[in-house]
């Protein structure tokens, strides 16, 4: 089985190398914005723009109009235009919103292809065109074909992201246990076994500090050095919050796919839920969408099966014992008693319904995970506890 794993490694550039890295991400941002403006101009003029035509157009004019681009590897602006074309394809396929112009200092990145002489890894260093050998915090963990290299700036730090195509054995499902997972606001995740997984509440913990930093930043004079320092301090705090959240998500999702062979989860309308002024911040602090994305790619890696229930599936209103659906169940009602006499805790009942839904539709549904299929009880299998070792900085990009 061929899979693509991406490893993000922190860079330790010298002062000269950091200047070149800033130039590279600046050229990438300029090429992307130029391609976006040119695409819009041609489209409004009745023409049919294309990614390949824009790349040829930039090649023909950059020596006269943008000679400073020659100081940066030619693949940087070319890859930026490819990214612009990919953004428009996702937009036309209704997978994302219309592309917007990039702003300096926001998700700065520059991508290099895997052409001959573009980049090379040697232990704890990487050779980048023009920039030279740059030190790494750690070695590349995967051995295989490196598909590209992307240099990113996250606040005051630099990273290199390398997707590597590796050969892996077919995953073997170690456990046939099934579990339903109900995501919520008060409790990040509730399992059908009754276990409740509390999130780190990274934003909530640092909220007062973030508000204080923001007030200090608003008082600085625009354009001053102190305002730039203040903006960096706010950005570094946001990066820390994101890292705490990602660490919890990786450890939790890895534990679940190792411990269970079948996982049931609900397809939540996260964008609609974020429209709520009262719940938006708490929902964003948990990361519902990222939780599902990590479960999807890790299930493929570890041989588990993820079954997603429709957002219209009445997981909370349905009694997990008799199957009766309650007519009304407001969000404020956390506990209720069914007509059959069964007392329910809202989140646990939803998780058990999701577990039954997953068992009914999983490819291994014939395998009974808890003695009697569809009993609604939590799993009783003897499962080897999963290691809580921190997940490596990798993301699953695709598999054949």
Domain count within the chain? 2
pLDDT digits (tens, 9 = 90+) for 257-278: 988 989 999 888 777 777 777 7
pLDDT greater at residue 344 or residue 53 = 53
Same domain, 159 and 190: no
Residue 397 lies in a domain: no
Residue 211 lies in a domain: no
Same domain, 272 and 355: yes
User: Could you give the CA distance from residue 233 to residue 183 in angstroms, rounded to a whole number?
Assistant: 32
pLDDT score recorded for residue 378: 39
Query: Is 81 in contact with 51 (CB distance < 8 Å)?
Result: yes
Which letter does DSSP use for residue 23 in this model?
Answer: H
Which of 145, 167, 189 is the last residue in one of the domains?
167
Same domain, 312 and 189: yes
Same domain, 190 and 119: no
Maximum mean pLDDT: which of 33-37, 139-143, 242-246? 33-37
User: Could you give the CA distance from residue 359 to residue 306 in angstroms, rounded to a whole number?
Assistant: 10
Residue 173 lies in a domain: no
Identify the H or E element spanning 8.
strand 2-12
Average pLDDT over residues 73-92: 93
Residue 22 lies in a domain: yes
Identify the H or E element spanning 59.
helix 51-65
Same domain, 43 and 19: yes
Closest to 178 measured CA to CA, from 306, 301, 289: 306
Three-state DSSP class for 338? coil
Same domain, 193 and 139: no
How much is the pTM? 0.77
pLDDT greater at residue 105 or residue 376 = 105
Kindly tell me if the per-residue pLDDT of 369 is higher than 50.
Answer: no
Using only C-alpha atoms, the chain has a radius of gyration, in whole angstroms, of: 25
Q: Which two tokens stand for residue 338?
A: 């069914």
pLDDT greater at residue 246 or residue 114 = 246
Closest to 204 measured CA to CA, from 109, 286, 262: 286
Same domain, 128 and 192: no
Identify the H or E element spanning 190.
strand 189-191
Residues known to be catalytic:
182, 266, 347
Taking residue 369's Cβ as centre, other Cβ atoms within 10 Å add up to 24
Same domain, 143 and 277: no
Same domain, 162 and 183: no
Residue 219 lies in a domain: no
pLDDT score recorded for residue 22: 93
Same domain, 112 and 188: no
User: Which runs of E-coded beta strand occur in the chain?
Assistant: 2-12, 109-112, 120-121, 125-128, 132-136, 145-146, 149-154, 157-167, 178-183, 189-191, 196-197, 262-266, 305-309, 335-337, 343-345, 396-399
Dihedral over alpha carbons 278, 280, 286, 290 (to 10 degrees)? 160
Residue 143 lies in a domain: yes
Kindly tell me if the per-residue pLDDT of 359 is higher than 70.
Answer: yes
Closest to 204 measured CA to CA, from 276, 283, 268: 283
Task: Write out the residue range of the structural domain in which residue 360 sits.
Answer: 178-197+247-390
pLDDT score recorded for residue 347: 84
Identify the H or E element spanning 254.
helix 225-259
Kindly tell me if the per-residue pLDDT of 389 is higher than 60.
Answer: no
Q: Which residues contact 195 (CB under 8 A, 6 or more apart)?
A: none
Same domain, 136 and 185: no
- Per-residue pLDDT band for 120 (boundaries 50, 70, 90) equals confident
pLDDT score recorded for residue 364: 54
User: Could you give the CA distance from residue 37 to residue 45 in angstroms, rounded to a whole number?
Assistant: 12
Kindly tell me if the per-residue pLDDT of 371 is higher than 70.
Answer: no
Across the chain, mean pLDDT equals 83
Residue 325 lies in a domain: yes
Average pLDDT over residues 320-331: 76
Kindly tell me if the per-residue pLDDT of 396 is higher than 60.
Answer: no
Same domain, 147 and 185: no
Residue 234 lies in a domain: no
């Amino acid at each position: 089985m061929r899979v693509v794993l991406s490893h993000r490694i922190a860079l330790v550039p010298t002062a000269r190398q950091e200047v070149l890295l800033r130039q590279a991400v600046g050229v990438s941002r300029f090429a992307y914005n130029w391609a976006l403006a040119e695409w819009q101009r041609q489209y409004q003029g009745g023409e049919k723009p294309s990614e390949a035509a824009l790349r040829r157009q930039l090649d023909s004019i950059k020596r006269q109009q943008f000679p400073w681009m020659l100081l940066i590897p030619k693949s940087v602006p070319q890859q930026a235009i490819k990214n612009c074309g990919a953004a428009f394809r996702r937009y036309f396929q209704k997978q994302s919103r219309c592309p917007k112009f990039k702003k300096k200092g926001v998700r700065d990145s520059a991508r290099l292809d895997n052409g001959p002489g573009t980049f090379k890894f040697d232990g704890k260093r990487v050779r980048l065109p023009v920039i030279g050998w740059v030190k790494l915090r750690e070695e590349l963990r995967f051995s295989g074909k490196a598909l590209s290299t992307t240099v990113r700036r996250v606040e005051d730090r630099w990273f290199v992201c390398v997707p590597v195509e590796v050969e892996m054995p077919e995953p073997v499902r170690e456990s046939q246990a099934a579990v339903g997972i109900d995501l919520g606001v008060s409790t990040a995740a509730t399992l059908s076994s009754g276990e409740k997984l509390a999130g780190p509440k990274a934003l909530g913990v640092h909220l007062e500090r973030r508000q204080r930093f923001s007030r200090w930043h608003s008082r600085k004079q625009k354009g001053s050095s102190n305002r730039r320092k203040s903006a960096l301090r706010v950005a570094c705090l946001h990066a820390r919050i994101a890292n705490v959240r990602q660490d919890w998500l990786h450890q939790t999702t890895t534990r679940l796919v190792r411990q269970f062979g079948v996982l049931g989860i609900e397809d939540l309308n996260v964008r609609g839920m974020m429209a709520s002024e009262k719940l938006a911040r708490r929902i964003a602090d948990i990361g519902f969408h990222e939780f599902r994305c990590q479960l999807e790619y890790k299930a493929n890696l570890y041989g588990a099966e993820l079954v997603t229930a429709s957002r219209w599936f009445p997981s909370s209103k349905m009694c997990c014992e008799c199957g009766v659906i309650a007519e009304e169940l407001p969000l404020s009602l956390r506990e209720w008693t069914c007509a059959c006499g069964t007392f329910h805790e809202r989140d646990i009942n939803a998780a058990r319904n999701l577990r039954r839904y997953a068992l009914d539709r999983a490819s291994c549904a014939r395998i009974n995970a808890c003695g009697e299929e569809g009993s609604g009880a939590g799993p009783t299998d003897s499962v080897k506890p999963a290691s809580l070792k921190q997940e490596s900085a990798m993301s699953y990009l695709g598999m054949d």
